Amino acid sequence: MHADTFNPVNLKLYRDNPARGPRIVVIGGGTGLSTMLRGLKRYTQHICAVCTVADNGGSSGLLRKDLGILPPGDIRNCILALADTEPVMEKLMNHRFSEGSLNHQNFGNLFIAAMTEVCDGNFYEAVRKFSDVLAVTGKVLPVSLQDLNICAHLSDGRFIIGESAIGHEELPAGVRITDICMDPATATALPEVLEEIRQADLVVLGPGSLYTSIIPNLLFKEVREAIIQSAATTVYVCNIMTQPAETRGYNAQDHLRAILDACGKTSAQGLIDYCIVNNEPLEDSVLGVYKETHAETVFYDRDSIRQMGTKLIEANLVLIKNGKVRHDAAELAVQLMQLAHLAAAGKHQSASASPRLCMPEAW
């Protein structure tokens, strides 16, 4: 492959031989992260998904409270996204009980909880063995092995404790999250996470919930420093829609600014090399459904983003599934593989260029 080019032939070579693929670290949590992983695993075996461990709601929250283990939900989703397994196994691991004492519990989460006990309480080892059982491509890591919570300060003076409360309480118009912190503030990141970042060709932040999936991972000073010191290209994948509980009224610049604030930075330069945004307008019928919950399209201003110290990539990333807006995993993978290929080859686009790649549908 030529270092300074990327075309359908390159993509096919990666797809035919993913063992030759670039090293990619993705950081976040939630549905957006697992969706992206399904697209990337077609082209590289060298994927590491780093998941937040602050979830305290739903099935994960119950297991965390009852058994004292780290929340398994986001990790389960990423493992299943990278797994090479039968559809029935994935369906089983996603099965949620609907009645009795196990009502609302997820079987895959229970499996990880049981594996943790089998491993004498070693959550890291349980995740590794669960990954082996499902023949995972790459690896999935918790950002930390310490029990922690996240807290949010709001512009109206309120202080919210816990990921589930932050992510599910709709913000009134004009009210914003002004700061996110973790408790304990002295929690440390998993050393293996830092090593994966150091060795990466590409580090991807998002997509996912800004304040409850992406930023919690960046609250670790050593994670921020590893990203800055790494030779990897770093890209932020902006959400397509706002989230009423976290980013009501936000544009892409606001998303980017929140990440910079969490990292103690005034400019993206040296931290985030590229920002990927969706440029495909959504139909009114789709927007109407979201408008009922005060969610809207994340708009962006080209000049403002570039003035923040990062390069902008615009692409049609929309996939409508069951009436819901999702990132198109296949198209997003193409955009990311272009950046990873150039990074692995030691080539970077000039500050004035925004890489664009249009692939035939066959790819």
Calpha distance 66→185 (Å, rounded): 24
CB 110 within 8 A of CB 63: yes
Give which of 157, 39, 45, 31 is closest to 94, Cα–Cα: 31
The predicted pLDDT at position 345 comes to 81
Coil/strand/helix, residue 243? coil
Q: Edge-to-edge strand order for the sheet containing 177-183?
A: 159-161, 149-154, 177-183
Q: Which helix (H) or strand (E) holds 320?
A: strand 318-321
Residue 278 bridge partners (DSSP): 315
Place of tokens 């959400």: 239
List phi, psi (to 5°) of 136: -75, 140
Residues whose CB is less than 8 angstroms from the CB of residue 163 and which lie 6 or more positions away in sequence, other chains included: 52, 54, 55, 56, 57, 149, 150, 212, 216
| pLDDT tens digit at each of 363 positions of the chain | 334 455 766 888 899 999 999 999 999 988 889 999 999 999 999 999 999 999 999 999 999 999 999 999 999 999 999 999 889 999 999 999 999 999 989 999 999 999 999 999 999 999 999 999 999 999 999 999 999 999 999 999 999 999 999 988 788 989 999 999 999 999 999 999 999 999 999 999 999 999 999 999 999 999 999 999 999 999 999 999 999 999 999 999 999 999 999 999 999 999 999 999 999 999 999 999 999 999 999 999 999 999 999 999 999 999 999 889 999 999 999 999 999 999 988 744 433 455 544 333 333
Q: Is the omega angle on the peptide bond into residue 172 within 30 degrees of 0, that is, cis?
A: no
Superfamily holding 8-52+143-344: CofD-like domains (3.40.50.10680)
Cα torsion 62, 67, 68, 69 to 10°: value is: -80
Calpha distance 276→315 (Å, rounded): 8
CB 82 within 8 A of CB 45: no
Calpha distance 54→160 (Å, rounded): 14
> Domain locations in the chain?
8-52+143-344, 56-137
Residues whose CB is less than 8 angstroms from the CB of residue 66 and which lie 6 or more positions away in sequence, other chains included: none
The token duo for 219 is: 């609250």
Q: Residue type at 110?
A: L
The model's pTM = 0.92
Any idea what DSSP says for residue 339?
H
Calpha distance 326→319 (Å, rounded): 5
Strands 177-183 and 202-205: unpaired
Task: Write the DSSP assignment of 176-226 as a string of letters.
Answer: -EEEEEEESTT----HHHHHHHHH-SEEEE-SS-IIIIIHHHHTSHHHHHH
Q: How far is CA 253 from CA 156, 312, 314, 326, in A?
A: 22, 11, 14, 20
Radius of gyration of the chain from Cα atoms? Answer: 20
The predicted pLDDT at position 5 comes to 52
The predicted pLDDT at position 6 comes to 58
CB 325 within 8 A of CB 241: yes
